[in-house]
Amino acid sequence: MGDLLGVAVLGAGHMGADHIRRLDQVVSGARVAAVADPDRARAEAAVAGLDHVTVHTDPVAALDAPGVAAVLIASPAPAHEEALLAAFARRLPVLCEKPMVPDSAGALRIMEAELGAGRRLAQIGFMRRYDAEYRRLKALLDGGRLGRPLMLHCTHRNVSSPADFTSAMLINSSVSHEIDAARWLLGQELTAVTVLRPGPSAGAPGGLLDPQFALFETERGALVDVEVFVNCGFGYQVRCEAVCEAGSARIGDEHTMVVTTRGGARQEVAQDYLVRFAAAYDREVQAWVDATRRGEVTGPGAWDGYAASAVAEAGVRALETGQRVAVDLAPRPALYAGR
Ligand SMILES: NC(=O)c1ccc[n+]([C@@H]2O[C@H](COP(=O)([O-])OP(=O)(O)OC[C@H]3O[C@@H](n4cnc5c(N)ncnc54)[C@H](O)[C@@H]3O)[C@@H](O)[C@H]2O)c1
């Protein structure tokens, strides 16, 4: 057990409990050493049956628990900054669920603290970079066979949203995935955003502006549009089509079982991200554990978390004002060059 990476998991909700199961049953080279959740019963339930795990209600206490050498943050976004800063102060490597923090000012503080530590410590949970289909699309675009990418058409639909979901969160929580994926696929920063919206769906809880349509501009003249619809009621669907000078490529069409019976065929549709992106989460956490044990950070980092926050913040202003809003990115520190 001594040579396994001991991980403190902060937050034992949907993602935290799934990551605990993953660290215990799927990933090699790591073990859960501590868990923290203000809801002690939830934390205890998430680690039931696991040995040598301490349970805490205070996240900072979990960082100081015996055997902890790394941290996985799966608490709600407003709690991430405090947890990241506490981890950096202890020089603990971190995998932090997206969004890194809710706002760009907080993201700048995270980068400043990591720069103060003198090395990269944080990986941000943009797991689409580990999804097999996204990786194929990235390789195709990078290979140049389709020529220069001109547009990405993206769809992001959830069956329903959590009770506390706000109109801004369609952009800064849901679309943060497309923001990161577009930056990564195109190798470009997003420079401006406009958000339009139809009249809300009857399925949207009162007052929620759902769906929305976001249009991003990039630094080398590409366009990225995203339909985000978080109470569509019928399935979890994430698609992306790249339209290039010499062809197009689309990912995210359902690849599940098709059942044909008399008079018709029925194709299953995933109902949530834990199903659609199961393999991507597995690959993400395994890659993080492997890199951490080598003393490296190889995945999306604090700069990517910052860029996503800054673009999302502009997106929320665009939603609120109805205007096109330019993204104002700080200069990229050398620590994050080439990533
Ligand atoms: N990568 C993805 O695809 C993906 C999908 C869903 C959610 N997320 C992200 O994961 C994070 C958690 O989301 P969730 O859906 O699991 O939420 P959740 O509400 O199901 O769980 C959050 C848990 O954190 C606990 N908590 C609250 N404050 C805490 C603190 N200070 N320290 C430790 N725990 C605390 C809560 O009691 C709760 O049990 C969010 O950042 C969310 O955006 C990522």
- Nearest atom in ligand 1 to the alpha carbon of residue 79 is 31
**Distance of CA 160 to CAs 19, 30, 212, 240, Å?**
22, 33, 14, 21
Provide the 10 A C-beta neighbour count for residue 72: 28
- Residue to mutate, 9, 10, 15, ligand 1, most ligand atoms under 8 Å from C-beta: 15
Q: How far is the CA of 155 from the centre of ligand 1 (A)?
A: 23
Task: Compute, in angstroms, the gap from residue 146 CA to the centroid of ligand 1.
Answer: 39
Separation of CA 13 and ligand 1 centre (Å): 6
Which of the listed residues 20, 75, 309 should we mutate to test ligand 1's pocket, taking the one with most ligand atoms within 8 A of CB?
Answer: 75
Domains and CATH numbers, the chain: 5-127+279-300 (3.40.50.720), 129-272+307-336 (3.30.360.10)
Q: Which atom of ligand 1 lies at the shortest distance from residue 10's CA?
A: 33
Query: How far is the centre of ligand 1, averaged over its atoms, from the C-alpha of 17 (Å)?
Result: 10
Distance from residue 27's CA to the centre of ligand 1 (Å): 20
| pLDDT score recorded for residue 257 | 85
> Which ligand 1 atom is the nearest neighbour of the CA of 39?
37
Residue bearing the CA closest to ligand 1, atom 28:
75
- What pLDDT sits at residue 1? 63
pLDDT of residue 241: 98
Per residue in 141-191, pLDDT tens? 999 999 999 999 999 999 999 999 999 999 999 999 999 999 999 999 999
- Which atom of ligand 1 has the smallest separation from the CA of 125? 1
* CA trace torsion 113, 117, 118, 123 (10° rounding): -70
Contacts of 38 (CB under 8 A, 6+ apart): 57
Residue corresponding to tokens 């993201």:
107
Structure confidence at residue 316 (pLDDT): 98
Longest dimension (CA), the chain: 66
Q: How far apart are CA 119 and CA 44, in angstroms?
A: 34
Q: What is the pLDDT of residues 52-93, one digit of tens each?
A: 999 999 999 999 999 999 999 999 999 999 999 999 999 999
Q: Closest ligand 1 atom, CA of 82? A: 31
The binding-site residues of ligand 1, defined as CB within 6 angstroms of any ligand atom, are 10-16, 36-39, 42, 59, 74-77, 79, 97-98, 125, 127, 173, 273
- Please name the residues in contact with 9: beta carbons below 8 A apart, sequence gap of 6 or more: 16, 19, 20, 23, 32, 34, 35, 36, 46, 62, 71, 72, 74
CA 133 – ligand 1 centroid, Å:
26
Weakly modelled stretches of the chain, pLDDT under 70 = 1-2, 339
Q: Which atom of ligand 1 is nearest to the CA of 13?
A: 21
Token representation of residue 287: 């890659």
Sign of CA dihedral 126, 130, 134, 140: positive
> Residue 334 Cα, ligand 1 centroid: separation in angstroms?
31
To which residue do tokens 């009621």 refer?
233
Rounded Cα gap, residues 232 and 208, in angstroms: 13
| CA distances, 77 to each of 86, 219, 325 (Å) | 15, 28, 24
Distance 95 CA to ligand 1 centre (A): 13
Q: Which residue has a Cα nearest atom 29 of ligand 1?
A: 75
Nearest CA to ligand 1 atom 19: 13
How many residues are there in the chain? 339
pLDDT at 2 (0 to 100): 65
3-state secondary structure the chain: CCCCEEEEEECCCHHHHHHHHHHHHCCCCEEEEEEECCCHHHHHHHCCCCCCCEEECCHHHHHCCCCCCEEEECCCHHHHHHHHHHHHHCCCCEEECCCCCCCHHHHHHHHHHHHHHCCCCEEECCHHHHCHHHHHHHHHHHHCCCCCEEEEEEEEECCCCCCCCCHHHHHHHHCHHHHHHHHHHHCCCEEEEEEECCCCCCCCCCCCCCCEEEEEEECCCCEEEEEEECCCCCCCEEEEEEEECCEEEEECCCCCCEEEECCEEEECCCCCHHHHCHHHHHHHHHHHHHHHHCCCCCCCCHHHHHHHHHHHHHHHHHHHHCCCEECCCCCCCHHHCCC
**Distance from the alpha carbon of residue 57 to the mean position of ligand 1, in angstroms:** 14
Task: Determine the distance separating the centroid of ligand 1 and the alpha carbon of 18, expressed in angstroms.
Answer: 11
Label the pairing between strands 70-73 and 5-10.
Answer: parallel
By C-alpha distance, which of 138, 82, 139, 121 is closest to 336?
121
Separation of alpha carbons 142 and 139, rounded Å = 5
Sign of the torsion angle spanned by Cα atoms 183, 132, 335, 10: positive
pTM of the model: 0.96
Q: What is the pLDDT of residue 160?
A: 97
Residue nearest to atom 15 of ligand 1 (CA): 14
